Amino acid sequence: MSQDKGMSAKKTKKADFRQIKKRIAEKQQDYIDYGFTRAQDDILKIFLDLAQEYENLEDFYQICIAVPCLYNDIKAGLYLYDNNRKKMRLFADSIKGLRSPPQNAPLYIKRTNETYRKGDTWFFPILKKYCAQEDGSLNDECLFTGLLAISSEQPISDPDRLFFSKFANRIGYNLHNRLLAQQNIDHLKFINNLVLDIEHNVIIPNMYFRHLFNQLRKKIKDVENLEKTIMIMKSSLHMEGGQCQVVIDQVSNLHNDLINHHQELQKQHDNLSLFLESLFRRDHFVQGHLVLRARKCLVEKEIIAPQLEQYAIRLRNRNIEIVMPEDMRDEEIPLMVDVGLLAQVYANLFSNAVKYTGESVGIDGSTRKKMAYGRHYLPDSFGPDCHGVKFNVFTTGLHLDDKDVMNIYNDGYRGLNSASQPGTGHGLNFVKHVIEMHGGRIGYESTDEGNNFYFILPLPESALDEKTVD
């Protein structure tokens, strides 16, 4: 049976303990009302035990039709809806067991959420999750999966029909979970194959750009040598200004332009390569979470400054003043950080600064837009003798709404002032995830002039001994 895209796990609200105890009491009363016999209770227990024991999906199909046959003179069939073929198909029955390949069902086999009878056979709907209401009706969340066919030479009583409908519900619940598990396994296989494709088709070809940059650098050197040659020729010919100088100026301008373009391309490539390497590491996909490659670094020089350079033109185009600290450039903060991932933290914060920096009004009534960043040390911020360093990106503008403050780091959440700006609401959640992976924490605080987004990372022991504590 094909997998259904609609089967992805749905987020549900978490129940409190009182609700759970209430549902337990309700289910206890339900089973009293059902009035199942000892033999029927045993059949349900056997089914649930074997459903856990056998992992193979085809074995599960056979369990579904073999267990009901503990009833005398009962024959069973398992019909499932094939989403690809848009047909009902017989996957197993109590006569031949597993049907491989599955057989198309007769035309009288209907796709319905209602129990119905055809001759001596009763058909009980199988749903992807157990969702019968108290009155036995079906709610909107019920998703049809197939039918459990039960036939007997003896009439099937009302209590027996109730039992088989509940048995079909348990088939649906177990089948739903199994297909979700298989979907997750297939998804992981796809991701593992994808990362190999990325490595082969993106990261390795991306390295070829370095070769192209080297070739471009050689051509720049050739132009530089040509410029020198022309100047020597001009000097040896004792020529005045004229055409020779025009050529020299043109070559000199071309040389400078090539150097500038090469430097810009190199910076963009280095930044993109850093992001590709840090996001598409095979370790992330193998472990199922971000895996840090931490090392000591000059935080401002190696992480902040390259990202600020990417956004500086956009900030200035929006008349946003950039205020940089004077005491970070050559400071090797004693942190072990993942340079690539922390660079993306600052990329997200600077990108938001471009979008959301607003005006602030000074004491003298003047207005300005400003973005600033910095750091200061916090003693005991992670407990006694467990110090930290607080990094921040500040922007002028209106304070965040209370609702934004509570949700701004949640995945998919976009602030009340974001309607006119492109985005997915994922950036700050990524920031939160990366910082927490480093053992730190994130936060937000309003100031007199605007908004301060910050994160605090733990320092090694004794790291503050030679630092000035703010």
Q: What is the pLDDT of residue 153?
A: 85
H/E segment holding residue 279: helix 242-279
* Top-confidence range, 134-143, 203-212, 317-326: 317-326
Concatenate the DSSP letters of all residues of 355-412 into one string.
Answer: HH---EE-TTS-EEEEEEEEEEEETTBTBTT--EEEEEEEEESPPPPHHHHHHTTSTT
For residue 262, give Cα distances in angstroms to 210, 215, 417: 11, 11, 38
Dmax over Cα atoms in the chain, in whole Å? 120
287 versus 117: which is more confidently predicted?
117
Q: How many CB atoms lie within 10 A of CB 24?
A: 10
Return the structure tokens found at 270: 């280095």
Q: Is 70 exceeded by the pLDDT of residue 140?
A: no
- Please report the pLDDT score of residue 276 as a whole number: 77
Give the separation between CA 380 and CA 414, rounded to whole angstroms.
33
| Banded pLDDT at 431 (limits 50, 70, 90) | very high
Give the single-character DSSP code of 380: T
- pLDDT (mean) for 198-206: 54
Residue with tokens 């796809």: 190
Confidence of residue 146 (pLDDT cuts 50, 70, 90): very high
Tell me the C-alpha to C-alpha distance, in Å, between residue 166 and each of 61, 136, 347, 360. 17, 10, 54, 65
pLDDT score of 464: 57
Q: Pairing mode, if any, of strands 144-152 and 320-323?
A: unpaired
Q: Cα separation of 434 and 441, whole Å?
A: 9
**Tens digit of each residue's pLDDT (9 = 90 or more) over 21-49:** 888 898 889 888 888 999 899 999 999 99
Average pLDDT over residues 133-154: 70
Q: What is the pLDDT of residues 357-406, one digit of tens each?
A: 999 887 777 888 999 999 999 998 888 888 999 999 999 999 998 888 88
CA distance 193 to 413: 31
Q: How confident is the model at residue 418 (pLDDT cuts 50, 70, 90)?
A: low
CA distances 225 to 222, 229, 239, 251, Å, are 5, 6, 20, 10
Bridge partner residues of 190 (DSSP)? none
pLDDT at 136: 45
Residue 420's pLDDT is 62
Q: Is 320 or 411 the better-scoring residue by pLDDT? A: 320
Helix H segments across 137-203? 158-198
What's the rounded Cα separation, in Å, for the pair 336 and 339? 9
Instruction: State the pLDDT confidence band at 142, using cuts at 50, 70 and 90.
Output: low
38-75 burial code (b ≥16 CB/10 A, e <16): eebeebbeebeebbeeeeeeeebbbbbbbbbeebeebb
Strand, helix or coil for residue 281: coil
Q: Tell me, what's the pLDDT at 6?
A: 41
Q: What is the pLDDT of residue 150?
A: 95
DSSP alpha helices (H): ranges in 414-455? 427-437
Predicted local distance difference test score (pLDDT) of residue 240: 55
Distance, CA of 48 to CA of 189 (rounded, Å)? 29
pLDDT the model gives residue 346: 94
- Pick from 62-71, 248-257, 423-432 the range whose average pLDDT is largest: 62-71
- What pLDDT shows up at residue 323? 93
- When pLDDT is averaged across residues 182-205 and rounded to a whole number, the result is 64
Distance from the Cα of residue 372 to its chain's centroid: 30
With a cut of 60, say whether residue 164 has pLDDT above it.
Answer: yes
pLDDT band of 197, cuts 50, 70, 90: low
User: What does the DSSP 8-state code read for residue 7?
Assistant: G
> Is 425 in a helix, a strand, or coil?
coil
Question: What percent of the chain clears pLDDT 90, i.e. is strictly above it?
Answer: 33
How confident is the model at residue 135, as a pLDDT? 47
Q: What is the pLDDT of residue 133?
A: 47
Residue 169, pLDDT > 70, answer yes
Q: Is the pLDDT of residue 468 over 60?
A: no
Taking only the tens place, the pLDDT of each residue in 102-137 is 999 998 898 888 999 999 999 999 987 644 444 444
How far, in Å, are 190, 425, 452 from residue 400 at the CA level? 40, 15, 10
Closest CA to 352 of 268, 429, 438: 429
The chain-wide mean pLDDT, for the chain, equals 82
Rounded to the nearest 10 degrees, how much is the dihedral formed by the CA atoms of 313, 316, 321, 325? 10
Top mean-pLDDT range of 27-41, 178-192, 218-232: 27-41
pLDDT at 9: 42
Q: Which fold has domain 15-186?
A: Beta-Lactamase (3.30.450)
pLDDT in tens, 86-96: 889 999 999 89
Rounded-to-integer distance, Cα 62 and Cα 67, Å = 9
Q: Which fold has domain 299-458?
A: Heat Shock Protein 90 (3.30.565)
Could you give the C-alpha distances from 94 to 97, 259, 413, in angstroms and in order? 5, 78, 52
